[in-house]
Amino acid sequence: MHDKEHSLEAAGIFQRLSALMLDLLIQFCLIYLIIPPLLASILPDAVRGYAVAASLLATFFLYEPILVSVFGQTLGHKYRKIRVVDSTTNERIGFFRALIRSLIKAALGLYSFLTMLGGRRQAVHDHLTRSKVVVVC
């Protein structure tokens, strides 16, 4: 990354929580409004329930890790102009780290955000996965 990106400021809790709320709204729409009707229109009744359940789990568990590892940000992050980077190199984190980060965040809930650590404003899930969330232009 360029020197300019090493000086990026850490995202604040309001930016992060508002991005999370937008991402939850997007996931809700996918899980309840888009995926079931789409699958209902193309799958037979015998397998529809299993396919819907699998797609719901995949949406919940893979939305954030895929977007963070490929683009460095979710749709909520993009709207709030923040992204997730490695805390040392400022590069995107890989899929496995993004998945672990997402699972820790889901397990700890708001507790992970309300216990921001140190002067770098890292949440617990960031600290444990050596990542940080920064403001981007």
Over the stretch 111-128, which tens digit does the pLDDT of each residue have?
Answer: 888 777 666 688 999 999
Per-residue pLDDT at 35: 77
Q: Is the pLDDT of residue 5 over 70?
A: no
Q: Is the pLDDT of residue 53 over 90?
A: no
Per-residue pLDDT at 119: 63
Per-residue pLDDT at 32: 79
Question: Residue 41, class by beta-carbon neighbours within 10 Å (0-12 exposed, 13-18 middle, 19+ buried)?
Answer: exposed
Alpha-carbon span 47 to 130, nearest angstrom: 41
Instruction: Give domain limits for the chain.
Output: 3-135
Per-residue pLDDT reduced to its tens digit, 32-45: 787 778 777 887 87
Per-residue pLDDT at 121: 80
Model confidence, pTM: 0.82
Q: Is the pLDDT of residue 2 over 70?
A: no
Alpha-carbon span 43 to 69, nearest angstrom: 31
